[in-house]
Amino acid sequence: MAITKSAKKAIRQNATRKAHNLIYKNKLKKLVKEVKTLIVQKKVDEAKKVLPQVYAILDKSAKVNVMKKNTASRIKSRLTLSLQKIK
């Protein structure tokens, strides 16, 4: 248990940041999963419509340090490649 005032504040900050980051992570997981299922079902047009939303949330996540920039780029690249493979 935190004793000092600064340690208590750090715990509060961590809880707030975790809640904020989880919003991005959950939205990202949902969209990536949706795109992957559309790709598996070979629904190219629908996947293309969802892809810009995935790009936007990935870019925003990288910008606010929820994930690293290269991680976001790697996810975008792999999704795009898998989409192009089924064309």
Query: CA-to-CA distance for 43 and 69, rounded, in angstroms?
Result: 28
Average pLDDT over residues 26-43: 95
The domains of the chain are located at 5-85
Classified by CATH at the fold level, domain 5-85 comes out as Methane Monooxygenase Hydroxylase; Chain G, domain 1 (1.20.58)
Question: Could you read off the pLDDT of 11-22 as tens digits, one per residue?
Answer: 999 999 999 999
Q: With cut-offs at 50, 70 and 90, classify the pLDDT of residue 52.
A: very high
pLDDT computed for residue 46 by the predictor: 94
What's the one-letter identity of residue 24? Y
Question: Could you read off the pLDDT of 65-86 as tens digits, one per residue?
Answer: 999 999 999 999 999 999 999 8
Helical ranges in 1-87 per DSSP H:
5-40, 44-63, 69-85
pLDDT computed for residue 36 by the predictor: 95
